[in-house]
């Protein structure tokens, strides 16, 4: 089927041709003819990225009277970003419809200016609930003559606690108007709105209710809680062309993870409810321009993201509601393209994966975190393909004789080795001493089930050991092999390691009378499977910033419409003249390297913000760098090296 078979008029078909649309999506094919031919309320269910805006936008533009300056159509959207996105799309659709004005009404912008735009004659107003209510109270907008009301992303609006706002707005609209409700999922709150404010609505469903996007594959990676951030970095390194949205639960975690990524050399920024509208716009402009490869966002702030070709969605922390996961994964795999949704979980969260599989009818593939060898190989082949596909700039021809003279004694094989050794050495040196995160997760699971024993040994870095040398020494001494010794944590004058509990007696016996270069070496079992670590100053099991501090319970249910979101309410349309907030997105601009003590706070009024404040609670306190089990920044290996596998490679000036 083509668009001209849907019953659209010539001005709209001309706009469709200008935009290059050829075939309508399934939701457009089902919804548009009904909305054009019948004066009925509608509930339409379709995944994010399936073209819902056009599905209600084209019929709305065809049915309004462009010769009248009365506000005839109201579109309500949950966030400022989505409000602006819909407005821009509606203007494109109305390109050849003379006399149509579409005005966006949202928080964070001048309300008087928005009122003036409406007074000039806006047939269609696109609004966020809070700002719309504000304008109604001030009598700046008249919606008593509405013919059409569209609730876009209805499930998300209700999940954000906008139920009362929506009902207040709908109560001021004419009863005879048509209401079109578009949603990705159908929780009971959406059904409640349909029952209370709609008359015999026709229901159009693409796929099944609450179904995940068809073009998205789902993967999960099981890690120890403290390794969550390291896992995130490895997933990014194993996908050199990654263009992703990373989801955290709270604004605090979002800001923290973004700052860590920036410090470690990635093109990253934060997007959350504490940013001013100007800061949001700057971050999104950089993301759309691909100056930012990894956008760390809260669920609410990400609702307005409509960016093409997002390759990955990474769930740094799982959300509390299944519907929220559906919205997250819908950020990728849009417009017929494929995408990947990755989930980083701990063992205690595995039940959530099972719930997601059951309700979404999607299989989640369990994968292991890539190790250094895999990442190095991927990066080398990425470089090879990049060189192979690079278009030759013939302006270089004038310099070739001098270059060839310099390289005349180098063979083809040697030249290839030298070129690729730059990239190989960078990643090899960083990853050669990093730990196996998959083994850490297995060890954590064994600890929970009592299948592992942790030991204290009185040798450390002062005895010329690092964790790898110590592990090799213990493997040779005990004969337990590669996987028999794990979670080796090497300190200055002592260390810790784990074995399966079944080997405990053997390990203790081997070190009862053991000397190393004339020094007595003793091994003891720690108390409480790791409690001795903290008593001796190890701190090996402390949680990193941004880790999962919640229990591993299942997804929440219940009436979310009455609950105001506390983690990131993001009700920007309620914050009038708020100005720049303190916590902001990190900037991708390169900064000169300084000592830590001299390093300035991150960001500015245009995408920066205060350096994160550290919590005094033990739950959120990050260990000192000397205590970390793996180098936090690629710029610093465990031996203190300053070479980074990402230095000068990933970062671009924004």
Q: Tell me: do 132 and 40 sit in the same domain.
A: yes
pLDDT of residue 641: 35
In a domain, 389, yes or no: yes
295 and 272 share one domain: yes
Rounded mean pLDDT, 310-323: 90
- Give the pLDDT score at 614: 37
Question: What is the secondary structure of 344-403 as a DSSP string?
Answer: EE-GGGHHHHHHHHHHHT-PEEE-PPP-HHHHHHHHHHHHHHHHHHPPP-GGGGGGHHHH
Q: What is the pLDDT of residue 429?
A: 82
Tell me whether residue 289 is in a domain. yes
For residues 467-489, average pLDDT:
86
617, part of any domain? no
pLDDT in tens, 55-89: 999 999 999 999 998 999 999 998 888 898 899 99
Mean pLDDT: which of 117-131, 213-227, 531-545 is highest?
A: 117-131
- Tell which of 525, 552, 572 closes a domain: 525
Please give the residue that has the higher pLDDT: either 537 or 407.
407
The confidence band for 630, taking pLDDT boundaries of 50, 70 and 90, is very low
Go through the chain and tell me how many residues it has: 654
pLDDT band for position 335 (50/70/90)?
low
In a domain, 546, yes or no: no
The whole-number pLDDT of residue 576 equals 38
In a domain, 405, yes or no: yes
Contact 479, 473 (CB under 8 A): no
Confidence of residue 543 (pLDDT cuts 50, 70, 90): very low
Answer yes or no: is pLDDT of 38 > 80.
yes
pLDDT of residue 443: 64
Are 189 and 226 in a shared domain? Answer: no
**pLDDT-derived band at 209, boundaries 50, 70, 90:** low
Report the alpha-carbon angle 317-611-226, nearest 5. Answer: 35
Shared-domain flag, residues 119 and 263: no
Q: Which of 458, 481, 484, 460 is nearest to 470 (CA)?
A: 460
Domain containing residue 106: CATH number: 3.40.50.300
- Say what percent of the chain tops pLDDT 70: 76
Question: Is residue 411 domain-shared with residue 354, that is, in the same domain?
Answer: no
Q: Do both 143 and 232 map to the same domain?
A: no
Residue 304's pLDDT is what? 60
Same domain, 199 and 281: no
Q: What is the pLDDT of residues 492-509, one digit of tens each?
A: 999 999 898 889 999 999
Banded model confidence at residue 212, pLDDT cuts 50, 70, 90: low
CATH code at position 495? 3.30.70.330
* Pair of tokens at residue 585: 């997105």
44 vs 562, higher pLDDT: 44
Residues 271, 339 share a domain: yes
Buried-state track 594-606, b at ≥16 Cβ within 10 A, e below 16:
eeeeeeeebbeeb
Domain-terminating residue out of 479, 504, 525:
525
Task: Return the structure tokens found at 323.
Answer: 């519907």
Domain limits for position 348: 216-370+585-590+604-612
Which of 59-68, 358-367, 574-583 has the largest mean confidence?
Answer: 59-68
In the three-class reduction of DSSP (H, G, I as helix; E, B as strand; rest coil), residue 9 is classed as coil
CA 94 → CA 18, 22, 29, 355, 385, distances in Å? 11, 18, 19, 43, 43
* Nearest Cα residue to 462 out of 504, 493, 507, 499: 493
Both 400 and 422 in one domain: the answer is yes
What is the reported pLDDT for 567?
A: 43
In a shared domain, residues 57 and 153:
yes
With 70 as the cut, is the pLDDT of residue 235 above it?
yes
**553 in a structural domain:** no
The proportion of the chain whose per-residue pLDDT surpasses 90, expressed as a percent, equals: 34
- Give the SS3 label for residue 430: helix
Cβ atoms within 10 Å, residue 384? 14
Per-residue pLDDT tens over the stretch 396-424: 999 999 998 999 898 989 988 888 888 78
For the chain, how many structural domains are there in total?
4
Any idea of the CA torsion for 624, 628, 634, 637, to the nearest 10 degrees?
A: 100
Q: Does residue 225 share a domain with residue 185?
A: no
Whether 427 is covered by a domain: the verdict is: yes
Count of other CB atoms within 10 angstroms of residue 592: 7
Average pLDDT, the chain: 78
pLDDT computed for residue 482 by the predictor: 65
Asked whether residue 147 falls in the same domain as residue 243, the answer is no
Q: Domain end: 397, 431, 465, which one?
A: 431
Rounded CA-CA distance 9/17 in Å is: 12
> How far, in Å, CA of 391 to CA of 317, rounded?
41
Instruction: Give the separation between CA 95 and CA 292, rounded to whole angstroms.
Output: 31
Does any domain span residue 37? Answer: yes
User: What pLDDT, on a 0 to 100 scale, did the predictor assign at position 431?
Assistant: 80
pLDDT in tens, 163-202: 888 888 988 899 889 999 988 777 777 787 788 888 888 9
Q: Is 516 helix (H, G, I), strand (E, B) or coil?
A: strand
| pLDDT score for 605 | 34
């Amino acid at each position: 089927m083509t668009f001209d078979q849907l019953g659209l008029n010539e001005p709209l078909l001309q706009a469709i041709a200008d935009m290059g649309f050829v075939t309508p999506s399934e939701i457009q094919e089902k919804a548009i003819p009904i909305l054009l031919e019948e004066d009925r309320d509608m509930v339409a269910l379709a995944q994010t990225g399936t073209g819902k805006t056009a599905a209600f936008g084209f019929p709305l533009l065809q049915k309004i009277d462009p010769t009248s300056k009365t506000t005839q159509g109201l579109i309500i959207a949950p966030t400022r970003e989505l409000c602006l996105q819909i407005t821009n799309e509606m203007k494109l659709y109305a390109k050849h419809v003379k006399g149509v004005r579409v005005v966006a009404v949202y928080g964070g912008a001048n309300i008087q200016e928005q009122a003036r735009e409406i007074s000039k004659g806006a047939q269609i107003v696109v609004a966020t609930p809070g700002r719309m209510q504000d304008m109604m109270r001030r009598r700046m907008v008249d919606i008593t003559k509405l013919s059409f009301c569209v609730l876009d992303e209805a499930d998300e609006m209700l999940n954000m606690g906008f139920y009362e706002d929506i009902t207040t707005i709908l109560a001021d609209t004419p009863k005879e108007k048509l209401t079109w409700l578009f949603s990705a999922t159908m929780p009971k709150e959406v059904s409640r709105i349909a029952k209370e404010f709609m008359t015999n609505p026709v229901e159009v469903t693409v796929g099944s209710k609450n179904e995940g996007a068809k073009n998205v594959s789902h993967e999960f990676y099981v890690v120890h809680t403290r390794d969550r951030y390291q896992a995130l970095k490895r997933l990014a390194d194993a996908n050199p062309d990654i263009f992703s949205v990373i989801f955290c639960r709270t604004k605090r975690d979002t800001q923290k993870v973004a700052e860590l990524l920036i410090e470690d050399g990635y093109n990253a920024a934060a997007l959350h409810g504490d940013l001013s509208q100007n800061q949001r716009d700057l971050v999104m402009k950089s993301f759309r321009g691909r100056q930012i490869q990894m956008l760390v966002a809260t669920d609410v702030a990400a609702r307005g993201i409509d960016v093409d070709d997002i390759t990955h969605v990474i769930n740094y922390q799982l959300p509390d509601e299944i519907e929220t996961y559906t919205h997250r994964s819908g950020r990728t795999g849009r417009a017929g393209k494929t995408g990947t949704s990755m989930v980083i979980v701990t063992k205690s969260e595995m039940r959530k994966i099972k719930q997601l599989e059951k309700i979404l009818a999607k299989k989640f593939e369990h994968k292991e975190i890539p190790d250094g060898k895999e990442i190095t190989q991927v990066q080398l082949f990425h470089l090879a393909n990049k060189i192979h596909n690079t278009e030759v700039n013939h302006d270089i021809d004038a310099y070739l004789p001098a270059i060839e003279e310099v390289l005349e004694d180098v063979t083809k094989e040697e030249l290839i080795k030298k070129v690729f050794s730059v990239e190989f050495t960078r990643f090899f040196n960083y990853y050669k001493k990093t730990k196996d995160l998959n083994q850490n997760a297995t060890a954590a699971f064994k600890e929970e089930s009592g299948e592992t024993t942790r030991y204290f040994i009185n040798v450390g870095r002062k005895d010329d050991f690092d964790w790898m040398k110590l592990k090799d020494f213990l493997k040779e001494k005990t004969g337990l092999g590669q996987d028999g010794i794990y979670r080796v944590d090497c300190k200055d004058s002592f260390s810790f390691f784990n074995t399966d509990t079944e080997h405990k007696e053997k390990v203790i016996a081997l070190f009862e009378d053991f000397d190393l270069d004339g020094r007595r070496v003793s091994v003891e079992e720690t108390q409480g499977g790791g409690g001795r670590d903290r008593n001796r100053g190890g701190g090996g099991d402390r949680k990193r910033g941004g880790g999962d501090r919640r229990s591993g319970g299942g997804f929440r249910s219940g009436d979310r419409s009455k609950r105001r979101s506390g983690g990131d309410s993001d009700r920007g349309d309620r914050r009038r003249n708020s100005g720049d907030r303190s916590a902001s997105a990190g900037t991708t601009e390169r900064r000169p390297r300084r000592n830590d003590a001299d390093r300035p706070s991150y960001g500015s009024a245009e995408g920066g913000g205060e350096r994160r404040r550290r919590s005094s609670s033990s739950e959120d306190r990050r260990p000192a760098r000397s205590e970390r089990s793996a180098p936090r920044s690629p710029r610093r290996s465990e031996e203190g090296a300053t070479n980074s596998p990402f230095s000068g490679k990933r970062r671009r000036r924004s």
